[in-house]
Amino acid sequence: MRVLKPASFVLILLILAKFVIQYLVVHPAYDLQRDEYLHLDQANHLAWGYASVPPVTSWISWMILRLGNGEFWVRFFPALFGALTIVVVWETTRRLGGKLFALTAAAVAILFSSLLRLNMLFQPNSLEILCWTTFFYLIIVYIQTEKPKWLYIAAIVFAIGFLNKYNIVFMVAGLIPAILIVPQRKLFLNKHLMGAAVLALLLISPNLIWQWQNNFPVFRHLEELATTQLLHVRRSDFLIDQVFFFYWVYPGIDRSVG
């Protein structure tokens, strides 16, 4: 009989804890959030794009519909993406030389972070965080091994992230100057980087074609958000919130995630 290593045992416990906690933090008196109903209804109208989001959420909604459309499955997928995020953080820490204490500390930090609230809701955000985290992990693995396959896997993860939520473009845009100022800037001379970029473009092209055919509704949606919601957000408040992002309660200030 094969005995689990201590690290594997701890990781399994943390994954199980993630699922249990995500179901416990939602009081049974609460119904689904209004945006969740929007995403669930997309299962009945599958397309390569929508006015406010790319298509991946609708594919997950289709799976939920086939599984019975019960609230258990609506909660399951965000919890699953949160659990996978813990696994990716764990593996990233291990790749960077962390031992059991560092692995556990990193995973616990994710488990009890504000992701608890994020992973409550069936929205693109949970998968978005997973794709961002996985993309960085794959870049780290490529830098360590210099094996081209990791670039192509990163391209696939980018494509999934893009088809889930367009924000991943900003992540890549921020990563490029970071690579330019470190020794790994030779990555841009790698022919496989271009191949990975072409692969990513091919994978996201159906959505880009849909956007073009429908006069890029994503930009109209952004304009609507700017004129109806974002005008009520002050930049100073936004920057202050980033400082306290992972604090639920700060002395004298209510920072609960409810």
Average pLDDT along the chain, 258 residues, taken 10 residues at a time: 76 96 86 90 93 92 95 95 97 95 95 90 95 95 91 96 94 84 69 92 96 86 68 74 58 40
C-alpha span between 128 and 131 (Å, rounded):
5
Q: How far is CA 68 from CA 37, 48, 62, 64, 73, in A?
A: 15, 23, 10, 6, 8
> What is the per-residue pLDDT for 13?
95
> What is the per-residue pLDDT for 27?
80
> What is the per-residue pLDDT for 234?
76
> What is the per-residue pLDDT for 221?
66
> What is the per-residue pLDDT for 257?
38
Task: Write the DSSP symbol of residue 216.
Answer: -
Per DSSP, the three-state class of 180 is: helix
Task: Write the DSSP symbol of residue 219.
Answer: H
> What is the per-residue pLDDT for 217?
85
Any idea what the Cα angle at residue 126 is, between residues 233 and 180, rounded to 5°?
75
Q: pTM, whole model, 2 decimals?
A: 0.84
List for the chain the helix, strand, coil content (%; round to 5). Answer: 70, 0, 25
Other beta carbons within 10 Å of 76? 18
